[in-house]
Copies of this chain bind each other. A is one copy, B any other.
Amino acid sequence: MSVLNNTDEQIKPVPVMELYLFGENTLEKHHITSTSQISQYITQPYKLWLNVCGLDNAPILQDIAKIFSIHPLTLEDIQNTNQRPKLEEFDEFVFITAKMIFTKSGLEEIITEHISLLFGHHFIISFQEKPDDIFDAIRVRLENPSGKMRKLGTDYFTYTLLDMVVDQYYKLIELIGERNEVLEDGIIGDNKNIKLADIYLHRKALQDIRKSTWPLREILSAWKKSDHPFIKKKTSVFINDIYEHTVEILESLELQRETITSLVEIYMTHLSIKQNEVMKTLTIIATIFIPLTFIAGIYGMNFKVMPELEWKYSYPLIWIIFITTTIAMLYYFKKKRWF
């Protein structure tokens, strides 16, 4: 997987970059258009949050990598949107890459974005695929001079970013729970509008979310056990909290998966029950009328010598045969509990 060496790329759009300088008494926001600006701000005695939105312009990302001395393989992880979530510790920073899964409208439009977070002694860098993000609440909280985000270290800052990410998972879980109930009502209530494809796609959405959540748990577990100097004891209670949330999300997903499995089973059984009913109807009708039709057929024959045809009471007699046969059949089916 060597994505790095392709230097001959076309001109790609410059990523949208915003840079916050902040301390207990300071908060400055700068829009960055060239990487040289970053080098300039990095020397100032404040903490720095660089939010980079857009991963297509390799040269600019490489410049940023040089400024913060990011290893080429790590840069590759940042750029590779298929990268599995993980946490890696380096001397200069801690590197986290994860998946943001969120929706703006509903389950039909789940957006999955690759996000990378790096935090060093006094800087945090976040890389996202697109400018449109879920960090507005962060920006608001950053404006509060007495808030923890300004006072505590870069690890706490990174925690709040991760917390935003995990919160979005929660919201999805809730939406999935609601959809599950719709499916449940539809299947148990035998609503015709439930389509198999719906269940299939629903199950697939669950799978996707689980695929991203599982390594998230590993990341947080690694953080909990880490003794990296930039990870302070003070934030451990927060990390524990977010860790439990991922555990809860995973358990919910597991439960919902089981629920879907039983729903599919119910669906199949419903089909069998209905088919059984259809077959019974056919069988009852056919079993009663086919023999009767045969009897009628007999006396529709044109043989010259058929004594019954001449008898006076043949016709009422045959009606008695028709009716008693029918009653006997119905009694038999009743006894067999077919209806």
For A239-253 the 0/1 string (1 means CB < 8 A from B) is 011001101100100
Cβ of A131 within 8 Å of any chain B Cβ, yes or no, is: no
Cβ of A278 within 8 Å of any chain B Cβ, yes or no, is: yes
Task: Using known A-B contacts A272-B275, A302-B309, determine if residue A287 contacts B283 with beta carbons closer than 8 Å.
Answer: no
For A284-314 the 0/1 string (1 means CB < 8 A from B) is 0111011111101111111111111111111
Bound state CA distance, A167 and B282, in angstroms? Answer: 54
Contacting pair A196 B273 (CB below 8 A): yes
Cβ of A328 within 8 Å of any chain B Cβ, yes or no, is: no
Q: Count of chain A residues with Cβ under 8 Å from any Cβ of B?
A: 88
Chain B's closest residue to A160 (CB) is: B2
Contacting pair B297 A305 (CB below 8 A): no
Task: Using known A-B contacts A276-B271, A276-B278, determine if residue A245 contacts B73 with beta carbons closer than 8 Å.
Answer: no
Cβ of A37 within 8 Å of any chain B Cβ, yes or no, is: no
Of A28-36, A51-59, A255-263, the one contacting chain B is: A255-263
Cβ of A327 within 8 Å of any chain B Cβ, yes or no, is: no
Cβ of A41 within 8 Å of any chain B Cβ, yes or no, is: no
Bound state CA distance, A273 and B166, in angstroms? Answer: 40
Cβ of A268 within 8 Å of any chain B Cβ, yes or no, is: yes
List chain B residues, Cβ under 8 A from A299: 301-303
**Which residues of A come within 8 Å of B, CB atoms?**
1-2, 71, 73, 76, 82, 84, 86, 88, 163, 166-167, 170, 188, 192, 196-197, 200, 203-204, 207, 211, 237-238, 240-241, 244-245, 247-248, 251, 255, 258-259, 262-276, 278-283, 285-287, 289-294, 296-315, 318, 322, 337-338
